[in-house]
């Protein structure tokens, strides 16, 4: 292993890697020597990223339990093993609790909490057999604090931190670490769409939306780049982070410092 390729020879499976943070992680891991398996529900995005990083595309809808189980089987069959799991897939929608559609609420919790549990459950035996593993859960500052109208997202992300800590305690003796990353607002297609909608709704420029609405509690008033999240994920996946487990790392522009 070289310092420029700290993940050389490792096999990584990244969920929701067709765009945004997952895409950045896929590119960063591939550049660091890993063989990358790209999961997404979107064929076009997933196949494009897999082609860009010289990896494998594995389509699955993580809101479906049987598809999630099958994804784990296909990953091990395709690459022989999975050394690194990045649970990244997710989505957001906003609504007051009393107006939140039951189906959407449950789907969000399923994709962002139940699916990571399933992925972890089904890939841990493989990691234990190898005697080495890294599980990185992409949570959010909303795993640490709350905002109105995001009950499903906040509940799922808080739960993901609990899952991270519990599994870390269970598997540390097997050479496996489990950690979470908690980003603030990241420059992804989803967030950029939210900015445009808020600008129209509030008669503001997009720059004003970022500074006055989205990042009002933050000390630094700019969006986080996906590559920043990917860089931390690469560190947590490396041998340099072998003594770090059960931790939650905030990249939040000072949001939770208050």
* Residue 7 contacts residue 81 (beta carbons within 8 Å): no
For residue 86, give the 3-state DSSP assignment: strand
Strands (E) across 21-118 are located at: 35-40, 56-59, 84-87
pTM of the model as a whole: 0.95
Q: Which residue numbers are catalytic?
A: 153
102-131 pLDDT per residue, tens:
999 999 999 999 999 999 999 999 999 999
- For the chain, residues with pLDDT lower than 70 are 1-2
The CATH number of domain 11-184+225-251, selected from 3.40.50.720, 3.30.365.10, 3.40.1190.20, 3.30.470.10: 3.40.50.720
b/e burial code for range 165-182 (CB count within 10 A of at least 16 → b)? bebbeebeeeebbbbbbb
| Cα–Cα distance for residue pair 257/144, rounded to 1 Å | 11
| Cα–Cα distance for residue pair 23/2, rounded to 1 Å | 23
Q: Closest Cα to residue 164, out of 89, 229, 245?
A: 245
7-21 pLDDT per residue, tens:
999 999 999 999 999
Q: Where in the chain is the domain with CATH 3.40.50.720?
A: 11-184+225-251
- What pLDDT was estimated at residue 2? 54
């Amino acid at each position: 292993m070289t310092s420029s390729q700290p993940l050389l020879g490792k096999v990584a499976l990244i969920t929701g890697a067709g765009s945004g943070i997952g895409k950045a992680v896929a590119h960063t891991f591939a550049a660091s020597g890993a063989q990358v398996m790209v999961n997404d529900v979107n064929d076009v995005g997933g196949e494009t990223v897999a082609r860009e990083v010289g990896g494998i595309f594995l389509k699955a809808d993580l809101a479906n339990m049987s598809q999630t189980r099958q994804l784990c089987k296909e990953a091990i069959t395709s690459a022989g093993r999975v050394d690194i799991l990045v649970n990244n897939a997710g989505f957001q929608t906003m609504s007051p609790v009393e107006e939140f559609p039951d189906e959407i609420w449950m789907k969000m919790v399923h994709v962002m909490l139940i699916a990571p549990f399933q992925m972890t459950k089904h890939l841990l035996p493989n990691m234990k057999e190898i005697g080495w593993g890294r599980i990185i859960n992409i949570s959010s500052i909303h795993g640490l604090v709350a905002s109105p109208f995001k009950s499903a997202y906040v509940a799922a992300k808080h739960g993901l931190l609990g899952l991270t800590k519990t599994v870390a305690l269970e598997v540390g003796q097997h050479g496996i670490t489990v950690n979470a990353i908690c980003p603030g607002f990241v420059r992804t297609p989803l967030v950029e769409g939210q900015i445009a909608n808020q600008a129209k709704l509030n008669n503001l420029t997009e720059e004003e939306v970022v500074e006055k609405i989205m990042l009002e509690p933050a000390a630094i008033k700019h969006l986080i780049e996906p590559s920043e999240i990917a860089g931390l994920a690469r560190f947590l996946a490396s041998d340099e982070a072998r003594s770090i487990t059960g931790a939650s790392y905030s990249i939040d522009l000072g949001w939770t410092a208050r």
